[in-house]
Amino acid sequence: MNTLSLINPDIWKEKDGILLEKNAIDTVKSLTNNIVIAGPGAGKTELLAQKACYLLETGSCSAPQKILAISFKKDSAENLTNRVEKRCEKELSRRFESMTYDTFAKRILDQFRLGLDEKYRPSKNYKVLLKNSDLAEIADKYIPICYPDYPSWRLIIRRNDELSNLLCNKILASQSSDYQDNIQELLSSAMWNILLKKVENDESALTFPMISKLSDYLLKENRYIRKALRLTYSHVFLDEFQDTTDIQYSLLKTSFLGSKAILTAVGDEKQRIMVWARALKGVFNDFKKDFLAEEKELFLNHRSSPKLVTIQNIISKSLEQDSIEMKPSDKWEELDGTCEIWAFQNSEEEAACLAGEVVKWIKEESIEPRDICIIVKQQEDIYGEAFKRILAEQGIQAREEKEYQELLSEDIVQFILNMIILTATNKAPESRKVVVDFLFYINGFDESTKYELLYNLEDELGIFIVDFKKRLTNCLINTIDLSSIECIISLIIDFTNKRKIKKSFPQYSRGNCLNEVIQNLIKKITITLQLRKDWKLCIDDIYGEFSIPMMTIHKSKGLEYDTVIFVGLEDAAFWNFNNNSEEDKRAFFVALSRAKKRVIFTASKMRKILNKRRNIEEQEQSVQGITILYKILKEAGVPIIRPVVQKLI
């Protein structure tokens, strides 16, 4: 689109027929910093997508400048990208970059690493430590070697998450003798030195908080790099702002405070349930003060039925007295929605009743299994075991979503699955885009790449698909086992080039990470293909098209379902409620607000849970510790029902 095609801001309209409420459209067209307070279902992501279209189509963000969108989770970043690409011409959407805070920090460090002081500078091919256990393994190995004077350090730092937090306070890459009076800083300094310089083959290993702190330091110390960043982005979007950590907020301020960039943050304080991950309390007020941001509020809940919105408003008031009252959209009838507490004698009775209701909903209301979600506070494998087993007897699949969410978040997994979809089906434009974008990325192609190179790669892909389609067909005809699926996946990896994958995605360059991810996927494909006998159905199944998801509250954040069943509204599930009541109430609010039409809370007098010895045993349950949650639901008119358990036919 050239300058002649730009739309006059006065006549610009929302894309795809979507109508935004007044405060949302004011935010879209605002020329100042804004903080948007928006409850569940208010359309926060859609607001940002529409604002991106407005800025690009009206020339408010003019080339070569770009829009930077930062989200807390990878899938949220991808969702926002997809919405902008769907609503905006390709030439414009290229100037919209959506990423997580971790990706943003890593990009800065990777691009300007040589600008760091030598003592802070990691190696070029540093490894990224994604698990606290990876960090602990390095500490256990290298501290005794590099710092033999600290033989009792594990008596002080017992848990792996404590070890990780040591690296979050400040950069202490200097002689640890400087901190002899403070054992915490002494160990922090020791770990910074080890991770920067002394890991295998002198390659550094960093956690994402360390990467953020190094990027923050780099920008503070080098005004030329800071200026280059600010010249690149004229607008910055901040999604799910309530989850922003202290380290991330510091990086944000260093990057853009005092710049000409216009920032738009959206979020909901009532959904701040990541305090354990260093989410910064009061970050909304900090942002308003630091960036002189104007606060706007959204009032429409586009997701939930009137009954559920009413209950959410009551819970909101219990969390924040001045909380805004949300209103349901006009697509609902006034009395739509269901919320009940179901009480049972034991978890087997509970599972049988829930399974019976789910079967009825699927058959009588034509609800897809993926539109029903089982949410628990913790230990979905234990709380959902009986339900999952009884449903399976009815031919309905339920699965613990955690392992699939983690697997499907992997770039290589998305590429492999979309390559199979592209080959196995006649038309798959979205899969083709994923495949081509991946191939372009690992080959280093960008807008300046010569057309002949792009065409050559497209030709190579076309030739590969012709042969690969035969292999997929033969696999179905012959025996489907681990060996045959390994051969299928190996063809994709060989075509792609494993070396290029590792070079392009640093997380796959460490140890055996890439092979572990691929082997996990091979197992999932093998089991699923043996059941489905069809490649398209197999991949759909892996994506969860035919399953009822079971997950924790934290994993459900940002998702939505027709029906939510919260299993275990009991003290044992909220075991730390007395010490953590505000965050647990927020978690409770998040669980309730995932539902569009119906929420069922369950409580059981007897339930199998983990005991103090980490064994599963049936124990009597109490609700005395979470009386306040029951009081809130009672105030909202939510009845307690003791269902009659009917035998499944």
Gap between the Cα atoms of 551 and 614, Å rounded = 20
Query: What was the pLDDT predicted at 600?
Result: 96
Q: Strand ranges (DSSP E) for 401-532?
A: none
**Lowest-confidence pick of 101-110, 250-259, 274-283, 483-492:** 274-283
Inform me whether the pLDDT recorded for 410 exceeds 50.
yes
Taking residues 105-134, report their average pLDDT.
88
Question: Looking at residue 649, what is its pLDDT?
Answer: 47
> According to the model, what pLDDT value does residue 550 have?
95
Which segments are annotated as binding site for ATP? 38-45
Asked which of 265-269, 270-274, 298-302, 373-377 is least confident by mean pLDDT, the reply is 270-274
Span 260-288, mean pLDDT? 84
* Mean pLDDT value of segment 305-320: 90
Of the pLDDT bands very low, low, confident and very high (cuts 50, 70, 90), residue 1 is very low
Confidence of residue 2 (pLDDT cuts 50, 70, 90): very low
Provide the pLDDT for residue 70.
95
Of 154-158, 202-206, 523-527, least confident by mean pLDDT is 154-158
Q: How confident is the model at residue 510 (pLDDT cuts 50, 70, 90)?
A: low
Q: Helices 451-477 & 482-496, crossing angle to 10 degrees?
A: 170
Environment class of 9 (CB within 10 Å of its CB; exposed 0-12, middle 13-18, buried 19+)? middle
In the prediction, which pLDDT does 175 show? 52
pLDDT of residue 417: 96
The pLDDT tens digits for 214-251 are 999 999 999 999 999 999 999 999 999 998 999 999 99
Instruction: Give the pLDDT confidence of 589-640 residue by residue, as tens digits.
Output: 899 999 999 999 999 999 988 777 777 888 899 999 999 999 999 988 999 9
pLDDT band, residue 159 (cuts 50/70/90): confident
Please check whether residue 273 is in contact with residue 375, taking contact to mean a CB–CB distance below 8 angstroms. no
Alpha-carbon distance of 587 to 556, in angstroms, equals 10
Output the CA torsion 481→485→486→489 (10° steps): -170
pLDDT-based confidence at residue 276 (cuts at 50, 70, 90): low
Whether 392 has a pLDDT exceeding 50, the answer reads yes
Alpha helices in 126-245 (DSSP H): 132-146, 153-156, 160-166, 183-197, 208-221, 223-232
pLDDT digits (tens, 9 = 90+) for 554-577: 889 888 999 999 999 999 999 888
| Per-residue pLDDT, 580 | 76
Q: Measure Cα distances from 67 to 81, 220, 422, 485, 566 in Å.
A: 11, 22, 31, 41, 39
| Confidence at 277, pLDDT banded by 50, 70, 90 | low
* Backbone φ, ψ for residue 647 (5° rounding): -70, 135
Contact present, 517 and 410 (Cβ < 8 Å): yes
Distance (Å, rounded) from C-alpha 30 to C-alpha 44?
A: 15
What is the rounded average pLDDT of the residues 511-532? 91
Describe the crossing of helices 246-256 and 283-291 by its angle, rounded to 10 degrees: 10
pLDDT of amino acid 214: 95
Q: What is the DSSP letter of 596?
A: E
Which residues line the annotated binding site? 38-45
Rounded to the nearest integer, the mean pLDDT of the chain is: 88
Question: What tens digit of pLDDT does each residue of 432-478 get?
Answer: 989 998 999 898 887 677 778 888 888 999 999 999 999 999 998 88
Measure the N-to-C terminal CA separation of the chain; round to a whole number of Å: 61
**Residues across the chain:** 649
Measuring CA to CA, how many Å separate 252 from each of 228, 241, 245?
Answer: 15, 12, 10
Q: Report CA-CA distances (Å) from 36 to 28, 155, 240.
A: 11, 46, 10
Give the highest mean pLDDT range of 270-284, 340-354, 422-436.
340-354
Q: What are 8-65's pLDDT values in tens digits?
A: 999 999 888 888 999 999 999 999 999 999 888 988 999 999 999 999 999 999 999 9
pTM here?
0.85
pLDDT of residue 4: 46
Residue 180 or residue 333, greater confidence? 333
Say which residue, 140 or 416, is predicted with more confidence.
416
| HEC profile of 436-465 | HHHHHHHCCCCCCCCHHHHHHHHHHHHHHH
